[in-house]
Structure 1
Amino acid sequence: MRASTTSGGSWIRPLRSSPQRGQVHLVCFPFAGGSAGYFRSLADSLEPDISVLGVQYPGRQDRRHEPLIEDIGQLADEICEALIQWETRPLAFFGHSMGSVVAFEVARRFQRDKRRAPLALFASGRRAPSCHRDEDSHAADDDSIIANLRSLGGTDPALLDDDEMRRVILPVIRGDYRAVEAYRAPTTETMLNVPIMAITGDRDPSVSLEEASAWRGHAAGSFEIKVLTGGHFFIHEHVAEIADCVRRVLFGFRSERTRPLRVDVASQSRGHS
């Protein structure tokens, strides 16, 4: 693995004052345009048993002067190296949207390099790597990208209305879109010896139930899918419930045998994308 361009401290942000108190480090990977601090509410819901580490991709906030990384594989390589210093505690991975793909690739590298496997992978708001859609949002004009962000609901509308903030946000969004839209699932070593929980919103236009369920094809062991009410950023409305799922999987799966696919639908209907 090539040398990291930045220190582990630049990449990994503890979202609590005493991260070593937790029995497990939950490493959270943001969505396109997102930052480490997005997961602070989840961190508050999980303490004191689980300490949350947010991944801060370059090109945003305090790393805004660093060049964007527009390749998922390179992102995963850098994050793998940055996590070495945090392996004093067991790790688990939680990704939302683009972050689910990055988390999957980091887990693959852990397995390839025979590092201690994460306790679980939580893939939120993203179809399985094996489910490809041809997308070119990164090539859209600025107004189209802003309209898309408004429809997804994950960005403060006040930021989207501010011309200066739009100039800051748009290059980051476009670069992240370019990275995830260029991503293709690997042809080998796509099964993880890690429990996987897929979490999806019942009205998410970017993920169908079938695409979320396809994460089962990447789980050599246990797999579960959780369907919650809401769109792409359903996580806003279900922080406490997601925290309960994380606790149950991390502190309960060791005594369970491999489980069959189990669908827990929090709504009577499922939207189609």
Structure 2
Amino acid sequence: MSSTTNNLWIRRFRPAPDAAERLVCFPHAGGSASFYLPVANALSPGVDVAAIQYPGRQDRRHEPGPASVAELADQIVVALAEWDDDRPLTFFGHSMGALVAFEVARRMERTGSGPVRLFASGRRAPSRVRAEHVHTLDDDGVIKELRALAGTDAQVLQDEELLRMVLPAIRCDYRAVETYRCEPGAAVRCPVTVLTGDADPRTSLEEARAWSEHTAAGSDLRVFSGGHFFLSERPAEVLAVLHEHFTAAVRQT
């Protein structure tokens, strides 16, 4: 894939063909690539930001949603392999996206590539499992969960027709993440930076720290004030962490 075109899976809202670094962003359950438009606006042109568009939403709404995190990761690896340059990749995934990014990184590392760092945001470590069954609830139950986490666009939640249209994809996402189980000892070779909200009802600090068990290169934990979508509440603080990473990367080149 050329550095100026998008494929079905990858959206580049602010292409930065001269940037030395590339950030690949993975959305949360029910989320879309456009969630990361503010990140692209903030980091371009210094960083080329690519956001993954999962099937089952927006312009891909007529496609079936993901069957599993593993299947989704397999498909994204193929899409990322189409890049025709060798710029270093950094992964950023929020919630479900953190697990998808983790599995994509593991698959890429098997072929000798992979990201230089994984930012795992708003998600407990892959080995920390909770009994969650949002995907089995009726529509009203799923909507209640979306409102509780406050990560879905308020306009969507207020538009009954639009909400019913996107619920199948959201349910697929929840099924994929709630049935995910990582392999024993699964780890990436790159360092992991964990970002979490201090009031996140879905991830405790212990569960966030446990990401250290899933990397051979060390991890660090950044705690922000806020809930599950702290990154929407504290965008400047999250962007500062990314700026710190990319500034250090440029100095090392």
Same fold (TM > 0.5)? yes
Q: Which runs of 5+ in 1 are unaligned?
A: 1-6, 257-273
| 1:146 corresponds to | 143
In the alignment, structure 1 residue 118 sits paired with structure 2 residue 115: yes
| 1:202 corresponds to | 198
In the alignment, structure 1 residue 220 sits paired with structure 2 residue 216: yes
1:232 aligned counterpart, secondary structure? coil
Inter-CA distance 202–87: structure 2 relative to 1 (3 Å threshold): farther
Indicate conservation of the 8 Å contact 2:16/2:46, yes or no.
no
Match of 1:42 among 39, 42, 58: 39
Tell me how far 1:15 sits from its aligned partner. 2.0
Q: Which runs of 5+ in 2 are unaligned?
A: none
Tell me how far 1:87 sits from its aligned partner. 5.7
Q: Partners of 2:177 and 2:202 in 1: how far apart?
A: 13
Indicate conservation of the 8 Å contact 2:6/2:12, yes or no.
no
Aligned AA for 2:150? G
Aligned AA for 2:148? S
Q: Partners of 1:156 and 1:137 in 2: how far apart?
A: 19
Indicate conservation of the 8 Å contact 2:16/2:44, yes or no.
no
CA distances 1:215-238 after superposition (whole Å, capped 9, x unpaired): 111121131100001111111122
| 1:99 corresponds to | 97
| 1:162 corresponds to | 159
Root-mean-square deviation (CA, aligned residues, Å) is: 1.8
Tell me how far 1:113 sits from its aligned partner. 1.8
Tell me how far 1:254 sits from its aligned partner. 9.1
Indicate conservation of the 8 Å contact 1:8/1:81, yes or no.
no
Tell me how far 1:43 sits from its aligned partner. 1.4
Tell me how far 1:19 sits from its aligned partner. 2.9
TM-score of the aligned structures, taking structure 2 as reference length: 0.92
Aligned AA for 2:13? L
Tell me how far 1:125 sits from its aligned partner. 0.4
Aligned AA for 1:51? D
1:27 aligned counterpart, secondary structure? strand
| 1:181 corresponds to | 178
| 1:29 corresponds to | 26
- How many residues are treated as equivalent by the alignment? 247
1:21 aligned counterpart, secondary structure? coil
Indicate conservation of the 8 Å contact 1:8/1:82, yes or no.
no
| 1:15 corresponds to | 13
1:159 aligned counterpart, secondary structure? helix
1:94 aligned counterpart, secondary structure? strand
Q: Partners of 1:216 and 1:254 in 2: how far apart?
A: 25
Q: Partners of 1:8 and 1:181 in 2: how far apart?
A: 30
Indicate conservation of the 8 Å contact 1:120/1:250, yes or no.
no
Q: Partners of 1:156 and 1:148 in 2: how far apart?
A: 13
CA distances 1:112-171 after superposition (whole Å, capped 9, x unpaired): 1222x2111000000010101111110011111111111111112332222211211211
Q: Partners of 1:240 and 1:45 in 2: how far apart?
A: 9
Q: Partners of 1:195 and 1:128 in 2: how far apart?
A: 14
TM-score of the aligned structures, taking structure 1 as reference length: 0.86
Match of 2:226 among 202, 217, 230: 230
| 1:90 corresponds to | 88
Q: Partners of 1:223 and 1:246 in 2: how far apart?
A: 15
| 2:248 corresponds to | 252
Q: Percent identity?
A: 49
